[in-house]
Structure 1
Amino acid sequence: GAPPPPPARAGGWAGAGSPLLSPGEVRSKPMTVLQWEKLSMGKLAHTLWGDGGSDGGAKGAAGALEKLMEPGRAFEIDISALEGRFARPDPSARFRRAESDNSDRSTVGSADGGTPRARISLLEPKRSTSVGIVENKLRGALGGKPLRDAILEVDEALLTQDTLKMALSAVPTTAEQALLLAFQGEPSTLDRPEQLLRSLCGIPRLEGRILAMMFKAQLEPDMDELLQQVDSLKAACEAVQGSAELQALMQIVLHIGNALNAGTARGNAAGFRPSALLKLAEHKAADKKTTLLHYTVEVVQTNAPKVRRVTALLPTLAQASRVSLEELRAKSADLARGMDQVERELTALEEAAEKEEERREALHREAMEAWSAAKEQRDEARRRHREGRAAARASEGGGGGGGGGG
């Protein structure tokens, strides 16, 4: 076949524009391929490779690189140096590395030193032990106030987030409620864990109440944290989109990657996914010491030193890098579920209040009816009493008249 192009002519492109190589171009020796996810020309819209760059123009990252190039200088890559540093090793010269780390490692497990309680109780021993620990902590946290009273009174001063978490773990199950309520003896004879759970059995919607209070206690700090994370991501996105230096750097990486991948399925990329940047530090040179990241820095220094100003982005990006989109979605979903829980609890309380009001009105009607009946009976008793007294007086008068005439 045709001999490879001489190193001098393969040194670069006439400018920092298109990174695409001629379809038939290959390297003079096998290269270690940069495993990126390349983008075709049809997928560049709304990306930094297309019209999503800092100036919104059609040149994108290529235009950003042109602006940062040294005046009068054309972008070049020393292909012979690239081949010398990143050529694939000769199979006959490969050596095996000792990998004794995995074989020598051992994990020492630690057994739980806790001893189960051997105490007679209505609960299972393991459950009794865990509830006993919670009960002891709750007594200290509540200052001796019964947990039942604190929940019914919604005592926010005592029911902190940690206290509510402990209370949630002490919510009796349906089976435990049946077991504890069936106990016919004196409640004071029960062990402390049983006494605690039994005292909670009569609280309507106990778990829902605790969850609603937990949500309310944590809502403000959770919302503040969520908004701070969203602001960090927004600031980072705006900084990335507006950074000509970052886009120029991406264009340089694109040039280097296409030069490295020439003649392979991953070559001639019009763009690449940002995840490829992580591979630069992993892509070792032939000396096993330097990487493609080191080489990229050298190319930047030679062609466009101004690109080094990209480090000004680091503080903003470092803060945003600690934010996980998955965690943001999960927190948003948790907030939505918490709001639903509070709404359900408020609805239940309103319905209970309405039922209580109806019950009170019914009791009031019954009391009024009973009072009316009592008044009638009283009036009837008074009437009869008056009639009786009148009859008695009349009887006394009639008897006296008869005696006087005798």
Structure 2
Amino acid sequence: MEQFEYKNYLDNIVLQLREQFVDSSLMVFNFRDEGKSLVSGLFSLYGITVKDYPCQYLGCPLLPLEMVLHFLRLSERWLMLEGQQNFLLMHCEKGGWPVLAFMLAGLLLYMKQYNGEERTLVMVYKQAPKELLQMLTTLNPQPSHLRYLQYICKMDDELEWPIQPIPFTLDCVILREVPNFDGVGGCRPIVRVYGQDFLTVDKRCNVMLPPSKPRKHARRYKQQADNISVKLNVGSCVQGDVVLECLHIDDSLEDERLMFRVMFNTYFIQSHILPLNFENIDVSWDAEQRFTKKFKAEVLFSEFDGESDASTEVASDYDDEVEVGSIDVFFEAVEIFSNLDSQEGQRDAEILSITSTECSPRAELMKTAPFSHFDMEIGLGGSQKNKIDGMVLSLENHSEFDVKELESLFAIAPKTKGGSKSDGASKSLGSKPDKVHLIDLRRANNTEIMLTKIKMPLPDMMSAALALDDSVLDADQLENLIKFCPTKEEMELLKNYTGDKETLGKCEQFFLELMKVPRVESKFRIFAFKIQFQSQIRDVRKNLLTVSSACEELRGSEKLKVIMEKILFLGNKLNQGTPRGQALGFRLDSLLKLTDTRANNSRMTLMHFLCKGLADKSPHLLDFYEEFVNLEAASKLQLKALAEEQQAVVKGLQKVEQELAASESDGPVSEVFRKTLKEFTDASGADVRSLSALYAEVGKSADALAYYFGEDPAKCPFEQVTSTLLNFVGLFRKAHEENIKQIEADKKKAQKEAEKEANQDRTPVKSKDGLVDRSPRSPFK
């Protein structure tokens, strides 16, 4: 679709919505790739807000969970705005349909409009041809889409976002069955992990975390049993949203092919494992030929140790092709290997070196041995003997060593919570008792995260809050404090606790500090209102003055009045002989229909004809729109929203006065609070009364503007008047510019025709006697 056709397409959509839903407002969510957006510029002509979102994250047609939640909450606030009917238009540019479909399904589930993640997603997918999804994505994104829809449905309303993502070490990926990607029933797999590198300073940096092995160590596996497994070590540090890809490398170790992809968030990892099957991995659309329905895999994690660097194990070179043993043998081998005294265990350990080529026996020994580490490579070549470089070493007992002394000297003391000291030292110094946690663990963790951002002792924080000292606490910090005030149930829980309060956790200590102040949440809200009061007054007043100025400019414009008279004249002439041919006026929205009325034999519209006539006879009227300095800004304002903001200020001050009266009985704890608040109420009362008077005056001006154009304010409110006039200005200017271009084009065309005719007149002509006559030909015969 050409750009002008696309603009007309969007114009029709917007006009239809505004005609059908007169009192409604529109917001557009646009999903696009990087680069210049066409939609933002087009919708700005109508004064419509456009929010842009990306259409992929690290190659996967999904968005990070935090961005998804931002979209959901913003949509909910817009659609549920009290006293106003708003509409949400979701649009995608090239390649954005898959992520738009996911976001729409997520919104329907989040707003409780539909139940069932898969049913909702399939319903949205069906709004477009299936071929479109296959054309835009090489892998079927439905499994990852469903996983993130399940995340959305699991989110608790009390969960504070953004949450602190949980860091893990992604240890390995275990394939329970080898897919067929080499044509002979096997594959040569490697793993790549993409995500946020939280070990760097720049948290916005998305990188590819190291693959499990260099390509030269990638091995081929083939199926030889019903149940087989391949373990691929990774060793990458992951946190938050992660994209994991498993690829097949061909024999040349150059070309690669994506076997499957998984996107997940570490916050929802349970028991350090992410189980997968064929139904919940993103695979190619023809993957059934390469995977069986029995395919399963697991992604294994361990706790992230920030003090130790994540390393990647590099295996030695092996034969090109390896047979893989059964999964049952794999786990049996790992279990038996911890007991090296058994001859049968040693035989099974030999199987381990074939079954799991990624699993190091040395690593297993280090986990089970309770002694200091001695860096010695261990082989598994014999039943009771160890082979190193061809030398046979006996494992018989050597009597010259005192084994008990060896164990006592080199045994590792068990770690205690107090550190690495011995038990005797720990007891002599006294160990700290365990903290007592009464509050829900998730809420307690979120509370402690919030407190780390305030960075001051709790008593100092409360003193600053009661003194209403905005140089110590800002609005964002107060907003967090309000969110984490204890509930009635939590306060009862703490009041009924009879143990030593010093042993309580940090969250409980914070709640106890807040409970010392009566109505602490109300006081926090009053403090937040005080901080934002002057900016609220200033913003509302500025917007009201913009509306007032726009009304004065429109009603005082003589040029606009003359243009309206000429439009009425044109309309009556076109309708001559009909009942509408003697109209005394016209509806305001008729201004936008001037572009719909076209001439019989040209592309000219009535708007072009109007501009042409003005340019010929009244050129001084062409710049009428320059008088409307505040029209565009005013068209973006909603009087209902301004009314709500003005009422919020009035009600806020009323709550301040109520809290001031209630604090009289608080005692000394609220003495500074009362004094500071009294000074604030005395100064702010005049500002609120002035703002209320201005709002009443602006409301009358807005109604008068509608009456001025012959409209009923109840049916054609201020927002519709300004939006219509702004659109009319845009269409008028566009038509005038097109007229100028057409005039220039006609001049060039006439000039070329004149030059062509002149050249023909100078063409040499032969006379009868053979001489060339170079004189111009006479136009007469």
Q: Identify the TM-score tier after normalising by the shorter chain.
A: 0.5 to 0.7
Alignment of 1:134 onto 2:286:
no
Q: CA RMSD in A?
A: 4.2
Identify unmatched segments of 5+ residues in structure 1: 1-33, 38-99, 358-406
Alignment of 1:249 onto 2:563:
yes
Alignment of 1:205 onto 2:482:
no
Counterpart of 1:240, as a letter, is L
Question: 2:468 maps to what in 1?
Answer: 154
Question: 2:488 maps to what in 1?
Answer: 174
The DSSP-based 3-state class of the residue aligned with 2:463 is helix
Distance in 2, matches of 1:184 and 1:103, equals: 62
Larger Rg: 1
Q: Residues 32-68 of structure 1, C-alpha deviation per residue, up to 9 Å, x if partnerless?
A: xx9999xxxxxxxxxxxxxxxxxxxxxxxxxxxxxxx
Counterpart of 1:105, as a letter, is W
Distance in 1, matches of 2:509 and 2:269, equals: 17
Equivalences for 1:312-351 in 2 at 5 Å?
Answer: 312-351=626-665
Alignment of 1:298 onto 2:612:
yes
Equivalences for 1:116-131 in 2 at 5 Å?
Answer: 121-131=437-447
Contact 1:280/1:292 (8 A) holds in 2: yes
Alignment of 1:184 onto 2:336:
no
Contact 1:116/1:125 (8 A) holds in 2: no
C-alpha change, 1:301 and 1:160, in structure 2 (3 Å) is same
Distance in 1, matches of 2:586 and 2:457, equals: 62
Q: Residues 81-127 of structure 1, C-alpha deviation per residue, up to 9 Å, x if partnerless?
A: xxxxxxxxxxxxxxxxxxx9899933245746362799994333443
The DSSP-based 3-state class of the residue aligned with 2:622 is helix
Equivalences for 1:81-120 in 2 at 5 Å?
Answer: 105-106=97-98, 107=100, 108-109=102-103, 111=148, 113=265, 115=267
Q: Residues 148-198 of structure 1, C-alpha deviation per residue, up to 9 Å, x if partnerless?
A: 333233333212211211111111111121122222333343332332223
Contact 2:439/2:508 (8 A) holds in 1: yes
**In the comparison of the two structures, how many residue pairs are matched?**
259
Question: 2:139 maps to what in 1?
Answer: none
The DSSP-based 3-state class of the residue aligned with 1:229 is helix
Q: Residues 127-159 of structure 1, C-alpha deviation per residue, up to 9 Å, x if partnerless?
A: 3343233222222xx477643333233333212
Equivalences for 1:6-405 in 2 at 5 Å?
Answer: 105-106=97-98, 107=100, 108-109=102-103, 111=148, 113=265, 115=267, 121-139=437-455, 142=456, 146-257=460-571, 269-278=583-592, 280=594, 283=596, 285=598, 293-352=607-666
The DSSP-based 3-state class of the residue aligned with 1:347 is helix
| Displacement after TM superposition at 1:263 (Å) | 8.2
C-alpha change, 1:120 and 1:353, in structure 2 (3 Å) is closer
Distance in 2, matches of 1:127 and 1:267, equals: 72
Contact 1:135/1:192 (8 A) holds in 2: no
The TM-score normalised by the length of structure 1 is: 0.52
Greater strand share, structure number: 2
Equivalent pairs: percent with the same residue? Answer: 28
Contact 2:598/2:606 (8 A) holds in 1: yes
Contact 1:168/1:207 (8 A) holds in 2: yes
* Larger RCO, structure (CA 8 Å, separation 6 or more): 1
Distance in 2, matches of 1:204 and 1:262, equals: 77
Q: Give the stretch that moved more between structures: 291-300 or 258-267.
A: 258-267
Contact 1:252/1:300 (8 A) holds in 2: no
Distance in 2, matches of 1:189 and 1:265, equals: 89
| Displacement after TM superposition at 1:315 (Å) | 2.6
Counterpart of 2:479, as a letter, is K
The TM-score normalised by the length of structure 2 is: 0.29
Contact 2:454/2:477 (8 A) holds in 1: yes
Distance in 1, matches of 2:457 and 2:562, equals: 64
C-alpha change, 1:199 and 1:316, in structure 2 (3 Å) is same
C-alpha change, 1:266 and 1:180, in structure 2 (3 Å) is farther
Counterpart of 2:97, as a letter, is R
Distance in 2, matches of 1:121 and 1:228, equals: 50
The DSSP-based 3-state class of the residue aligned with 1:115 is helix
Contact 2:465/2:527 (8 A) holds in 1: no
| Displacement after TM superposition at 1:342 (Å) | 0.7
